[in-house]
Structure 1
Amino acid sequence: MRDVEIRDDMIRLGQLLKLAGLVEDGAEAKEVLEEGLVEVNGAVETRRGKQIVDGDEVVLGPEIIHVVTGTVGGDQIDQSTDNSGSAKR
């Protein structure tokens, strides 16, 4: 399990999957979610827009992500968007 740090109080599941490097882009996030391959807190989740908050655990295959807010030395995302509408790292 590894911690992934978010700046705000929540992040959408699709953004988190990209931030954590579990998927390359939104299309891949949509695909793995539609296939039922992602679990949030032990339950299969299919919604890309599901709000993920501090303390949530996300699983995709062998990868387990623990979401934290604040500084803990994990990955962090700038959740603002660039001109293409994509989240910036």
Structure 2
Amino acid sequence: MKTFTLKGEYIQLIQLLKALNWVEHGAMAQYVVEEGMVLYNGEVDFRKRLKVRVGDVISFDGQEVKII
């Protein structure tokens, strides 16, 4: 499992997907979230602007990252 160090209180889910280079651009990030392809702490979450915080785990396309 990868880790991602948060530099503030939170990062929006679609911004995180772009920062990790798991998607090529913002439109693709929005699409994969809307289609339920991203897991937030083990469950599908459709909120594009979801605030991801320290301790959360995000999974997408066989990859997983823990926010530290």
What is the RMSD computed on CA atoms of the aligned residues? Answer: 0.7
State the shift of 1:63 in Å: 0.5
Q: Which runs of 5+ in 1 are unaligned?
A: 69-89
The answer on 1:3 being equivalent to 2:14 is no
TM-score, structure 1 normalization: 0.73
User: Which runs of 4 or more aligned residues in structure 1 lie more than 6 Å from their structure 2 counterparts after TM superposition?
Assistant: none
Structure ranking higher in helix proportion: 2
1:46 alignment partner in structure 2: 46
Q: Within 5 Å, give how 1:3-82 maps onto structure 2.
A: 3-68=3-68
SS of equivalent to 1:21 = coil
- The code of the aligned residue for 1:61 comes to D
State the shift of 1:48 in Å: 1.0
Q: How many residues align?
A: 68
State the shift of 1:47 in Å: 1.1
TM-score, structure 2 normalization: 0.94
Which has the higher Rg, Structure 1 or Structure 2? 1
Identity among equivalent pairs (%): 34
Structure ranking higher in strand proportion: 1
- Write out per-residue CA displacement over residues 31-78 of structure 1, whole angstroms, 9 at most, x where no aligned residue: 10111100000110111100000010000011001111xxxxxxxxxx
State the shift of 1:6 in Å: 1.6
- The code of the aligned residue for 1:22 comes to W
